[in-house]
């Protein structure tokens, strides 16, 4: 990976890059009022065709709730479900601070996430840093999920940047590879330390953690 001063914007995945999450938290809470045990309920919430439909906007939040309730026997209200389902996040503080530094130095920063309405509503209320991006590409608003090229095209149009002007951070290899095929400078996030090291190799950060370029 070589240094490239052409980088003008940094694209952040949300889950496991800026925010850690655990659907097991929601499943344990919801199972107390359901006929389904936590483990299969966690799979329903995070790995099923149902969540795919929700995160591509084919189900509204209420429709998603109705389908989960039918499958699990959950006996609570929509409001109880929404709170349990979405209150599963923990900030990854080094990455939150990284975004603040990059934006302060004049780089564009964007959120690029496979996600859903309930999660985003919760994140907006709970985490002030989420308001401090130049733009957001969220799968449920566009009817398609990463690594589909159509969502990457949306990000390029929003950012007004293409190819090596974009630095992309994501924790899923298939998503990183899709960005790299478009010429984006793509980094697989395994942990914040490795990501910071990659940004230093690219010349985006100095060894002391400060940004490696002035605003362009």
Q: What is the pLDDT of residue 216?
A: 37
Could you tell me the pTM of the whole model?
0.93
List the CATH code of the domain at 9-20+91-201.
3.40.50.1000
- The domain ranges of the chain are 9-20+91-201, 23-86
Note the pLDDT tens digit of each residue in 131-180: 999 999 999 999 999 999 999 999 999 999 999 999 999 999 999 999 99
pLDDT of residue 92: 98
Report pLDDT for 206: 80
Q: What integer pLDDT is reported at residue 209 of this predicted model?
A: 55
Task: Select 23-86's CATH number: 1.25.10, 1.10.150, 2.60.120, 3.90.1580.
Answer: 1.10.150
Tell me the CA distances in angstroms from 156 to 110, 172, 181, 183, one per residue in order: 10, 19, 13, 11
Residues (pLDDT < 50) of the chain are 1-4, 214-216
pLDDT on residue 1: 35
The CA distance from 13 to 169, in Å, is: 6
What is the pLDDT at residue 214?
41
Residues paired with 112 in a beta bridge: 137
pLDDT of 2 reads 39
What pLDDT does residue 5 have?
Answer: 62
Is 138 exposed, middle or buried (CB count within 10 Å of its CB: 0-12, 13-18, 19+)? buried
Contact 108, 134 (CB under 8 A): yes
- Burial (CB < 10 A; 0-12, 13-18, 19+), residue 173, is exposed
């Amino acid at each position: 990976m070589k240094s490239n001063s052409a980088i003008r914007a940094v694209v952040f995945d949300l889950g496991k890059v800026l925010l850690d999450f655990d659907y097991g938290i929601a499943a344990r809470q919801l199972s107390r009022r359901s006929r389904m045990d936590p483990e299969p309920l966690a799979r329903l919430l995070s790995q099923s065709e149902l969540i795919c439909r929700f995160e591509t906007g084919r189900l509204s939040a209420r429709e998603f709730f109705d389908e989960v309730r039918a499958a699990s026997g959950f006996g609570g209200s929509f409001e109880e479900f929404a709170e349990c389902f979405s209150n599963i996040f923990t900030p990854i503080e080094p990455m939150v601070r990284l975004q603040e530094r990059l934006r302060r130095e004049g780089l564009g920063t964007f959120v690029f996430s496979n996600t859903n309405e309930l999660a985003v509503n919760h994140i907006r209320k709970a985490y002030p840093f989420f308001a401090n991006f130049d733009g957001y590409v969220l799968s449920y608003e566009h009817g398609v999920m990463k690594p589909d090229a159509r969502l990457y095209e949306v990000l390029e149009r929003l950012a007004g940047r293409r190819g090596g002007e974009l630095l992309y951070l994501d924790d899923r290899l298939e998503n990183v590879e899709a960005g790299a095929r478009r010429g984006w400078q793509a980094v697989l996030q395994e942990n914040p330390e490795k990501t910071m090291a990659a940004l230093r190799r690219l010349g985006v950060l100095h060894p002391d953690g400060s940004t490696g370029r002035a605003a362009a």
